[in-house]
């Protein structure tokens, strides 16, 4: 068993995190399939998979509950599915609605929240709503006990770290006395609130403030539940059986972000199972300058073609050297565990057999 | 892009949006335009590629000769806004420091986006509203990823529908007019020739039209790989089997074919809209030299 497969063997939650555009969704799918092939009951939660990957996984619509997809996995191909694989695409709005339904003290409060224009916007538009709902869904699935392990593909945030801060921000928000100011202004707090309200009214008009106050009043009935939940979610994220896989490419910005993320995980008491460097190019250990390569190939390919191939090889080696430097930097800055590198493919993945191949590579 | 005042550069995360924004800005500086690149959410990717560092939020620096740069974050934009719009120093200070007001800004739908786009819009004003600030001919916004762009650009309109009177409503209306003015504003989408970025670009075009009535401007496809090999070349290369150089050649050719397919898909989906391509650069890092090279290519390809 490989080092990474070993580190994932007894985990209950695997969260794939990293900068946008590095192939997190594909890696998540491969990890989920790989774990299912090792006999585990796996739920894969994806955010926004490429159409062909979604089709490959049999995910043709948002339904916000995992559905069995292991029937689509071809027999043979070096990957026997001894476990179970279910997958879902996250529906942000529905996850928020489910949360409110769960926590609302009565039907009237629930319906009033759903009808409030501030809620409508909060649950769909506001930055961070994907992060909140991804974590909420993760927590909910972990509670059910229907799965041995949940693999979560994180939202494509510009800052991968936003994801970690989501429950904290929610707790902080709920614990702040600010809500109290909105709800029951008294004493000197009342004076300050009055000035704020007057200014808000002056610059935005009245309707907005009324909606907002109503929304906070409705929400106050849910505060205990939300606060408890945020605390539980936080505990789940730092649990020994919850691990993060940091996914990156060897490009400068994603790599910086991966290193930053790895450090933040540590600082927040969360556990990193490994780093995956995606889209790596094979490094030629021998001499590969244009002249040497062209000479080597000249007798087989002739002068023109051997030269063209040599130029291409040198270009690709520049990428390979960048990849190699990235791997070295990861080893030096993060130490163990050794990063796993995945070779760049010519094309985007588009059927489950290719996901299976990648799974074998990730957990080799 | 020539003749525009406001160029909004967007694209899926990881496609090289900041690189293209910086290269476009360099072409404008070469035309003699007073240009500034603005980044949001306190990012500094464009500033670093240009060889400099971002200043403090809202501080305009010059990371490249003749080209200014500013990074905008919500908090500083809010303080700035209050200083400009709320008369008297005390209420502004009190508001900026008030946790209640912070929560108000954080939870009010579109407020945060409105403050950000408002600070960008202020850069376009002649004379500038900020005392002592220099005017610009062109603002290049290194905008959030396409998934969040529509929210940012829709904020003035959304906000105006809930706050109908007062300074915010007035300013929102002015921002909306600038965004809707096709002679002043252009949204440039950056993509790579891959499945998801192409899909997002096509979706962005639809959303801009549907939700904002804005036509997508130029599309820049970044990191395009082209193959120098013919079919016969490949047959000859195949004979080399596992030779490392042959492997590189086959990889590049396969990648070029996949890129070609995605480019065709994009062109078809955009129905004749201009698509500029930039090559994959093999250099380890994008710095000034690479940006200048990309600017040369953009100049040559721009109609």
Q: Is residue B224 classed as helix, strand or coil in its secondary structure?
A: strand
**Average pLDDT rounded to a whole number, residues A332-352:** 76
Looking at residue A315, its pLDDT comes to: 94
Q: Give yes or no for B226 touching A (CB within 8 A).
A: no
Residue of B171, B108, B93, B74 whose CA lies nearest to A196: B93
Distance CA A272, CA A281 (A): 25
The answer to which of A11-15, B12-16, B135-139, B140-144 has the lowest mean pLDDT is B12-16
Looking at residue A96, its pLDDT comes to: 83
Q: Give yes or no for B271 touching A (CB within 8 A).
A: no
Residue A125's CB: how many other CB atoms inside 10 A?
Answer: 18
Cβ distance A51 to B240 less than 8 Å, yes or no, reads no
Whether the pLDDT of residue A199 is over 60: the answer is yes
Instruction: Give the one of B145, B236, B258 whose C-beta lies nearest to A20's C-beta.
Output: B145
Q: Residue B38: pLDDT band by 50, 70, 90 thresholds? A: very high
**How confident is the model over A239-292, as pLDDT tens digits?**
999 999 999 999 888 898 899 999 999 998 999 999 999 999 989 988 889 999
Whether the pLDDT of residue A177 is over 80: the answer is no
Closest-CA residue in chain B for A26?
B196
**How confident is the model over B221-258, as pLDDT tens digits?**
999 999 999 999 999 999 998 899 999 999 999 999 99
Residue A184's CB: how many other CB atoms inside 10 A?
Answer: 12
Q: What is this structure's pTM?
A: 0.85
CA angle at A168 for the pair B42 and A139, rounded to the nearest 5°: 120
Sign of the C-alpha dihedral computed for residues B120, B125, B130 and B136 taken in this order:
positive
Cα Rg of chain B, angstroms: 22
CATH 3.40.50.10190 fits B6-226+274-301, yes or no: no
Residue of A124, A170, A119, A204 whose CA lies nearest to B111: A204
Q: Residue B269: pLDDT band by 50, 70, 90 thresholds? A: very high
Cβ distance B249 to A309 less than 8 Å, yes or no, reads yes
Cβ distance B237 to A309 less than 8 Å, yes or no, reads yes
| Percent residues over pLDDT 90 in chain A | 35
Which residues is A41 bridged to in the sheet? A84
* A325 or A346, higher pLDDT: A325
Domain boundaries, chain A: 3-281+344-362, 285-334
Q: Give yes or no for B43 touching A (CB within 8 A).
A: yes
Question: What CATH superfamily classification does A3-281+344-362 receive?
Answer: P-loop containing nucleotide triphosphate hydrolases (3.40.50.300)
Residue of A47, A279, A64, A78 whose CA lies nearest to A151: A47
Instruction: Give the one of A52, A301, A315 whose C-beta lies nearest to B195's C-beta.
Output: A52
Looking at residue B88, its pLDDT comes to: 62
Buried b (16+ CB within 10 A) or exposed e, A336-357: eeebbbbebbebbbeebbbbbb
Give the strand pairing for A84-89 and A41-46: parallel
CA distance B270 to chain A (A): 19
The answer to which of A54-58, A297-301, B265-269 has the lowest mean pLDDT is A54-58
Instruction: Give the one of B166, B169, B284 whose C-beta lies nearest to A322's C-beta.
Output: B284
**How confident is the model over B274-291, as pLDDT tens digits?**
899 999 998 767 889 999
Cβ distance B162 to A199 less than 8 Å, yes or no, reads no
Whether the pLDDT of residue A121 is over 70: the answer is no
Pairs of CB atoms within 8 A across A/B? 193
Looking at residue A193, its pLDDT comes to: 61
Per-residue DSSP letters for A241-282? TEEEEEEE-SSHHHHHHHHHHHHHHHHTT-EEEEEEEEEE-P
Looking at residue B92, its pLDDT comes to: 61
Distance CA A178, CA A193 (A): 9
Overall residue count recorded for chain B in this entry: 303
pLDDT, averaged across chain B: 87
Instruction: Give the one of A195, A205, A296 whose C-beta lies nearest to B94's C-beta.
Output: A195
What does each C-alpha distance from B167 to A200, B99, B122 come to in angstroms?
Answer: 11, 22, 14
Class of residue A269 by CB neighbours under 10 A (exposed 0-12, middle 13-18, buried 19+): exposed
| A45 contacts A59 by C-beta, under 8 angstroms | no
| A350 contacts A52 by C-beta, under 8 angstroms | yes
Class of residue A91 by CB neighbours under 10 A (exposed 0-12, middle 13-18, buried 19+): middle
**How confident is the model over A206-238, as pLDDT tens digits?**
566 677 777 777 877 777 777 777 778 888 999
Whether the pLDDT of residue A68 is over 90: the answer is no
Closest-CA residue in chain A for B91?
A195
What does each C-alpha distance from A188 to A230, A315, B99 come to in angstroms?
Answer: 30, 68, 14
**How confident is the model over B101-129, as pLDDT tens digits?**
666 666 666 777 888 899 999 999 988 88
Cβ distance B110 to A125 less than 8 Å, yes or no, reads yes
Looking at residue A155, its pLDDT comes to: 78
Residue of A110, A167, A172 whose CA lies nearest to A139: A167
Q: Residue A200: pLDDT band by 50, 70, 90 thresholds? A: low
């Amino acid at each position: 068993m490989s080092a990474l497969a070993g580190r994932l063997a007894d985990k209950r939650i695997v969260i794939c995190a990293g900068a946008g555009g590095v192939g997190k969704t594909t890696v998540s799918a491969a990890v989920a399939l790989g774990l299912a092939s090792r006999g585990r009951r796996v739920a894969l939660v994806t955010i926004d998979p490429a159409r062909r990957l979604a089709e490959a996984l049999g995910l043709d619509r948002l339904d916000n509950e995992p559905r069995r997809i292991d029937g689509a996995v071809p027999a043979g191909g070096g990957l026997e599915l001894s476990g179970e694989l279910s997958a879902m695409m996250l529906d942000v709005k529905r996850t928020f609605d489910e949360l409110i339904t769960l926590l609302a003290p009565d039907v009237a409060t629930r319906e009033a929240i759903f009808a409030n224009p501030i809620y409508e916007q909060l649950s769909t538009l506001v930055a961070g709503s994907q992060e909140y709902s991804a974590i909420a869904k993760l927590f909910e699935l972990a509670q059910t006990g229907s799965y041995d392990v949940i693999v979560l593909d994180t939202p494509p945030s510009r800052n991968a770290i936003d994801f970690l801060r989501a429950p904290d921000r929610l707790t902080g928000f709920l614990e702040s006395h600010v809500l109290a100011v909105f709800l029951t202004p008294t004493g000197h707090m009342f004076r300050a609130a009055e000035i704020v309200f007057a200014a808000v009214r002056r610059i935005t008009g009245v309707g907005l403030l009324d909606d907002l106050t109503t929304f906070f009043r409705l929400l106050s009935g849910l505060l205990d539940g939300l606060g408890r939940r945020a605390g539980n979610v936080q505990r789940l994220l730092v649990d020994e059986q919850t691990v993060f896989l940091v996914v990156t490419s060897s490009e400068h910005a994603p790599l910086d972000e991966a290193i930053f993320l790895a450090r933040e995980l540590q600082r927040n008491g969360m556990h990193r199972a490994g780093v995956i460097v995606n889209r790596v190019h094979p490094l030629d250990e021998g001499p590969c300058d244009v002249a040497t390569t062209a000479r080597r190939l000249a007798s087989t390919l002739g002068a023109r073609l051997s030269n063209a191939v040599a130029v291409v090889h040198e270009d690709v080696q520049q990428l390979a050297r960048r990849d190699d430097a990235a791997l070295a930097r990861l080893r030096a800055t993060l130490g163990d565990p050794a990063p796993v590198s995945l070779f760049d493919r010519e094309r985007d993945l588009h059927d489950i057999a290719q996901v299976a191949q990648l799974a074998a590579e990730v957990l080799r | 892009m020539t003749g525009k005042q406001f160029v909004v550069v967007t694209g899926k995360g990881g496609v090289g949006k900041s690189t293209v924004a910086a290269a476009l800005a360099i072409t404008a500086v070469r035309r003699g335009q007073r240009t500034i690149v603005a980044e949001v959410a306190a990012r500094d990717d464009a500033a670093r590629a240009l060889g400099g560092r971002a200043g403090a939020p809202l501080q305009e620096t010059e990371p490249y000769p003749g080209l200014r740069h500013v990074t905008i974050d919500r908090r500083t934009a809010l303080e700035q806004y209050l200083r400009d719009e709320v008369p008297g120093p005390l209420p502004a200070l009190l508001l900026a420091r008030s946790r209640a007001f912070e929560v108000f800004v954080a939870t009010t739908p579109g407020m945060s986006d409105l403050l950000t786009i408002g600070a960008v819009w202020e850069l376009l004003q002649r004379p500038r509203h900020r005392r002592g600030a220099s005017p610009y001919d062109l603002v290049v916004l290194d905008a959030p990823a396409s998934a969040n762009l529509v929210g940012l650009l829709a904020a003035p309109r959304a906000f105006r529908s809930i706050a109908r009177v007062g300074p915010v409503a007035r300013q929102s209306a002015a921002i909306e007019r600038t965004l809707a003015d096709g002679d002043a504003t252009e949204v440039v989408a950056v993509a790579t020739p891959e499945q998801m970025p192409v899909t997002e670009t096509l979706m962005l075009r639809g959303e801009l039209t549907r939700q904002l009535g804005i036509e997508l401007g130029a599309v820049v496809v970044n990191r395009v790989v082209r193959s120098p090999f013919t079919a016969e070349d490949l047959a000859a290369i195949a004979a080399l089997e596992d030779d490392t150089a042959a492997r590189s050649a086959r990889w590049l050719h396969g990648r070029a074919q996949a890129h070609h397919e995605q480019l065709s898909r994009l062109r078809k989906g955009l129905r004749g809209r201009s698509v500029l391509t930039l090559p994959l650069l093999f250099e380890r890092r994008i710095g000034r030299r690479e940006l200048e090279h990309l600017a040369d290519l953009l100049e040559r390809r721009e109609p």
